[in-house]
Copies of this chain bind each other. A is one copy, B any other.
Amino acid sequence: MTSPYTIAVAGLGSMGLGMANSSHRANIKTYGIDVNPQQIEKFTSIGGLTGQLPNIAGELDCLFIVVVNAAQTKTIIEQSVNLMKKGSVIISCATVSPDFARQMQTLCEAHDLLYLDAPISGGSVKAAAGNITVLAAGRPDAFAKAQTALDAMAEKVFTLGDTAGPGSALKVVNQLLAGVHIAATAEAMTFGLSQGIAPQTTLDVISQCAGTSWMFENRGPHIAEGDYTPHSAVDIFVKDMGIVCDIAAEANFPAPLSATALEQFSAAAKAGHGSEDDAAVAKIYAKNGNVELP
């Protein structure tokens, strides 16, 4: 009797929880792992499984790692490589550098494991619906092993290369643009206020003009409505724009807009808005420019 296809999702934040739920809903045997018991409860309350990684690692076909950064990712990989069965796959979803991704592939392959460099995009609503986008690179065997789970979680899986690196590189490029566009949205709406234009008017008009962006249309309403309930927090972009700038610096690549956006997010975090929605970067513009937000 063969054991059923089994996966674990390590990191049940807004993205990981949605991915675990989507997998469970597709009748895949799915473990959810997190350091926070409240997040585990959210998953087990709908019938999901949980366990300690050392106890379950040997059962897994796929281990999805959906944590905050490279350090946490590395810790989980190092805990798992000696325990997982040969030919199973580690899917790394955090935003990390391409170099880190290549190092982790080397580490996994030294233990006869497969590795997928697979950062994710789409936000919590899409994660809950099983509609994330995955920017993936890795060996065909790794894609094949992960496919059943990816089918349950993702609307779109880009196949960006047959070795680790390009997935993380394109995720970092996406974060560069996303971070600059969120800060630009804040700059434009508060600049409009300095000229007597209400943010809602800016939103209504510019969303139909060449100045629009995905982030303008997604985050603009948060500013226009003065609602900073965190969908994605300021702290995430302090981290991600920091990764962009670190990688750029290593490559001797000047990235002045990224550096400027990072300064604005860092100022927002320093002013106490780190756990608010990333659109709260507008509060720094409003303070510096002496305009009043809704």
Binding site for B on A (CB under 8 A): 98, 121-123, 133, 135, 156, 158, 160, 165-166, 169-170, 172-178, 180-181, 183-185, 187-188, 190-192, 194-197, 201-202, 205-206, 208-216, 218, 244, 247-248, 251-258, 260-261, 263-264, 285, 288-291
Besides the contacts A121-B209, A170-B201, A190-B253, what 6 more A-B pairs have beta carbons closer than 8 Å?
A170-B202, A172-B195, A177-B212, A191-B248, A211-B214, A251-B289
Residues of B within 8 A of A170 (CB): 192, 197, 201-202, 205-206
Nearest chain B CB to A184 CB, angstrom units: 5
User: Is the CB–CB distance between A121 and B210 below 8 Å?
Assistant: yes
User: Is the CB–CB distance between B174 and A209 below 8 Å?
Assistant: yes
User: Is the CB–CB distance between A178 and B210 below 8 Å?
Assistant: yes
**Could you say how many copies of this chain the assembly holds?**
2
How far, in whole Å, are A174 and B196 apart by their CA atoms in the complex? 15
Residues of B within 8 A of A188 (CB): 173, 176-177
Residues of B within 8 A of A261 (CB): 257
How far, in whole Å, are A29 and B53 apart by their CA atoms in the complex? 79
User: Is the CB–CB distance between A184 and B251 below 8 Å?
Assistant: no
Residues of B within 8 A of A169 (CB): 192, 195-197
